[in-house]
Amino acid sequence: MQDMGREDHHSDSEMSGSERLAYSGPLSGPLNKRPGRKSARFSIPGTTTSKDEQYVEITLDVRNDSVAVHSVKAANGVEEDPEMALLAKGLEKRSASNVLRTASARIRQVSHEIKRLASFSKRPPPGRLDRSKSAAAHALKGLKFISKTDGGAGWAAVEKRFDEITASTDGLLPRARFCECIGMKESKDFAGELFNALARKRNMHCDSISKAELREFWDQISNQSFDSRLQTFFDMVDKDADGRITEEEVREIITLSASANKLSNIQKQAEEYAALIMEELDPENHGYILIENLEMLLLQGSNQSVRGESRNLSHMLSQKLKPTLDSNPLNRWCRSTKYFLLDNWQRVWVMALWIVFMASLFAYKYIQYRRREAYEVMGHCVCMAKGAAETLKLNMALILLPVCRNTLTWLRNKTKLGVVVPFDDNLNFHKVIAVGIAVGVGIHGISHLACDFPRLLQASEEKWELMQQFFGDQPSSYWHFVKSKEGVTGIVMVVLMAIAFTLATPWFRRNKLNLPTWLKKLTGFNAFWYSHHLFVIVYTLLVVHGYYLYLTHKWYKKTTWMYLAVPVILYGSERLIRALRSSIKAVTIQKVAIYPGNVLALHMSKPQGFRYKSGQYMFVNCAAVSPFEWHPFSITSAPGDDYLSVHIRTLGDWTRQLRTVFSEVCQPPPDGKSGLLRSDCFQGHNSNLPRVLIDGPYGAPAQDYKKYEVVLLVGLGIGATPMISIVKDIVSNIRTMEEEENAVENGAGGIGNSPSTKIPSPYTQKRKENFKTRRAYFYWVTREQGSFDWFKGVMNEVAEIDHNHVIELHNYCTSVYEEGDARSALIAMLQSINHAKNGVDIVSGTRVKSHFAKPNWRNVYKRTALNHPDSRVGVFYCGAPALTKELRQLALDFSHKTSTKFDFHKENF
């Protein structure tokens, strides 16, 4: 025993398998650096050295990141005082005992440090937070002010921005530009409140800071310590710095967080949600919450968000997916070729067949004209021109087939050709043929204009005698050939095809170029639509051009019409059928709704005999907008529904006008409703509604989902429309099959079966054969909170009906910062509380809990592969083209390196 005020250097002893260490002095320092259980002894100043000296021994359990008060007792060996046990649990109350009265001064000095480490106030022992290594490690990711940096590495960029910003402000950073300097430019208000909290902590009352002060701010907000982050966030909320957060302060931070994450609905309900948080964290109605309450909520939310997948398997799979290194370039090439052929064999054989046909026709015509008299005058030029012309004839015939949608839908549904023919790539093949036509036109036109015609003009009298039978007298002017029927029709065709080809490119069709206003009106989808219909003139001119040939006079050798006859008749018949079908199958608008995000939903009657599959699409025409334009939209209703529905996003001229004409005749929504609703439309007596025609249905990649036992559905924004129909269809099929199976189990089998046989009906057997899907994962990614209103009813229906958890729904809102960002931390806390209490997600407004930011698609595939080894998974994607490459490549990677095979399908219109 030593004098009071000195450290008692200790001896170690074993206690419950943990190291016990007695230490007198502040809790910071050695106590925080040593593992195991540690006992801290606090000397009591103001007393003399004696055998009866009194001090308090506080035993803490410290394991990794876990801190708990084990006991508080007098160090003289007396039993633990019951009132001291209260100190261990709450560290709030003061004991009336002589020992505590003597020790009160010293305890007050260390109580704040103990509370910070233990975070134990008002928590009953059974519900104590688990500050285990895994939970704390996850929580460290749960409150980040600065992402993807550890402070030291990020300071260089911050300092550079500081120097640039303060070049004109005498070296002082204004508060208004603090957000820009630290990399929170898109969250100005949130960064402003962070600035206020950091300044308030340091008793600063200025609106600008120096570089040294900024460095101090940066060190705090980039601190990796969870406690430091928690304190910073608490200081942001605690605006009056009294160590307590009131309901008003909670409401303000909810509003601020909702604004930073563009969650307008939460902003409107901030007062209600603030009351919910106070109810959860302040059950005794003190009117405030403390930092330990906030910590408890954050750690519990972090633990709930940890998924129960196997970490070891995930790690093993990640190892397998590392690139296979092979020093032999021949082996690498063989492996790459093998994978390419396995993944693209359908495309490969179709393209190979097309190329072989093109090469054969070109060679055939080249050799044929190589033996004719024209070769003596025009040489290889005429052979090149005629060879290219022959490929042009075939390509002009083939280019119509990929857009014969009725024929393709019939072949897809009624034949087995889909096994070897990639019907999903019909539009891609259409584009490839268009490129082939452009190349053929170039070769044909340049060979004639730049080579053949000049050679004819310069031919000698002897050589011209060979051409006399084809051209008559030798012309003296180049324009003789240009102004002829062949020349005029050829040039006009080239001009019209060039216009159609140019306006069909993505830059013009989607208005991606910065063009003057007057020129921008000549681009866009409408320009693409109308310019493509110039093909009627082009095909007419092509037949004329092929009839008036210079070097061929016999009609049966003029083969242009032979190539075009069947495709043109087939395409013409399809257009006629579409026109008749759309006019006969009249539809009645039953419901109109306009949702946030400029989405128009149309519910209409289903024409008699209109049968379709989930994932298919149909064309919609509205004469009030344009009597000629037909636009494709995915069908969002399920085949079993008694209505048809489409959801149309306002993106271009036509959709914008369609929304306008329906808005003009619809009533405003009643209070609490989303969109424009017309109850009287269900009877079909509203003559003011615009007349809508439909044409379809047409086959699409997503309709093949029934072939897979496991499907992965991915929709971006309005791209969720075909997936919604699939989700509804899966639920409907599962429910129907369960009812049929229950009927069989109860003895109501097929007709003529006795109750004891329980033989399923042929219809049930057929349904099972055609419907293989047993598990579905649906990932819907959207940037706006209001987008979830589009399919809120479907989400809730699936959550209610799907008792066997066949469908796993994942909603992602990309406007919200990633889980763990300080800007979304309070939103995540509030989301957990509200979903646990009311079963409703505050972001989506559905029973499906939403995720923040963008999905990690590699983890999505990894999780699917872990859950379904040795299975074939159908991946169906509809949305922006930017994500297509990543999803397709991941499907290939996981197919090659795991036992799970992923078949990727991209929706095309």
Q: Is residue 617 part of a domain?
A: yes
Please check whether residues 349 and 434 belong to one and the same domain.
yes
Of 170, 195, 222, the domain-final residue: 222
649: domain CATH number is: 2.40.30.10
Would you say residue 744 has pLDDT above 90? no
Are 475 and 595 in the same domain? no
**Mean pLDDT across the stretch 307-321?**
50
Answer yes or no: do 594 and 728 share one domain.
no
Give the SS3 label for residue 439. Answer: helix
pLDDT for the residue 429: 92
574-600 confidence digits (pLDDT tens):
888 888 877 666 688 888 888 877 888
Instruction: Return the amino acid letter for 587.
Output: V
Task: Determine, yes or no, domain membership for 283.
Answer: no
What does the pLDDT average to over 203-228? 81
Phi/psi for 794 (5° steps) reads -65, -45
Close Cβ partners of 900 (under 8 Å, ≥ 6 residues apart): 864, 865, 868, 869, 870, 871, 872, 873, 894
pLDDT more than 70, % of the chain: 73
What is each CA distance from 775 to 712, 713, 766, 804, 861, in whole angstroms? 9, 11, 19, 10, 14
Residue 734 shares a structural domain with residue 656: no
Q: Is the model's pLDDT at 96 over the cut of 80?
A: no
pLDDT of residue 673: 53
| CATH label of the domain that carries residue 781 | 3.40.50.80
Same domain as 605, residue 565: no
- Domain membership flag for residue 120: no
Which residue from 485, 552, 549, 386 is spatially nearest to 378, judged by alpha carbons? 386
Rounded Cα gap, residues 469 and 325, in angstroms: 68
pLDDT band of residue 569 (cuts 50, 70, 90) is very high
According to the model, what pLDDT value does residue 585 have?
A: 62
Average per-residue pLDDT for the chain: 75
- The alpha carbons of the chain give a radius of gyration, in whole angstroms, of 38
Task: Name the residue range of residue 687's domain.
Answer: 585-699
The enclosing H or E element of 391 equals: helix 380-398
451 domain residue, yes or no: yes
- Write down the pTM of the prediction: 0.69
Same domain for 164 and 201? yes
Q: What is the mean pLDDT of residues 526-543?
A: 89
Running DSSP on this structure, what letter comes out for residue 715? E
Pairing of strands 807-813, 850-852: parallel
Identity (one letter) of the amino acid at 212? A
- The pLDDT of 614-628, averaged and rounded, is 87
Same domain membership, residue 445 and residue 403 = yes
State mean pLDDT over 710-727: 89
Pick from 483, 883, 540, 871: nearest CA to 711: 871
Q: Verify that 550 and 647 share a domain, yes or no.
A: no
- Tokens (6 digits) for 585: 């199958």
- The verdict on 539 and 488 lying in the same domain is yes
- pLDDT mean over 501-526: 80
Same domain for 650 and 504? Answer: no
Same domain, 509 and 549: yes
Q: Do residues 796 and 879 share a domain? A: yes
Task: Provide the b/e sequence for 263-285 (b: ≥16 CB within 10 Å).
Answer: bebbbebbeebbebbbebbbeee
Contact between 811 and 854 under an 8 Å Cβ cutoff? The reply is no
Q: Look at the chain and report how many structural domains it folds into.
A: 4
Q: Which pLDDT value is given to residue 348?
A: 92
Q: How is the beta sheet containing 56-63 ordered, strand by strand?
A: 13-15, 18-24, 36-42, 56-63, 66-74
pLDDT for 45? 42
What six digits make up the tokens of 118?
Answer: 């233990």
**Residue 879 Rama label (left phi>0; alpha psi -120 to 50; beta):** left
pLDDT of residue 389: 92
592 within a domain of the structure (yes/no): yes
Query: Lowest-pLDDT range, 61-70, 684-693, 781-790, 897-906?
Result: 61-70
Q: What average pLDDT does range 873-883 have in this prediction?
A: 88
Q: What is the CATH number of the domain that holds 214?
A: 1.10.238.10
- How many residues belong to the chain? 909
pLDDT band at 680 (very low <50, low <70, confident <90, very high): very low
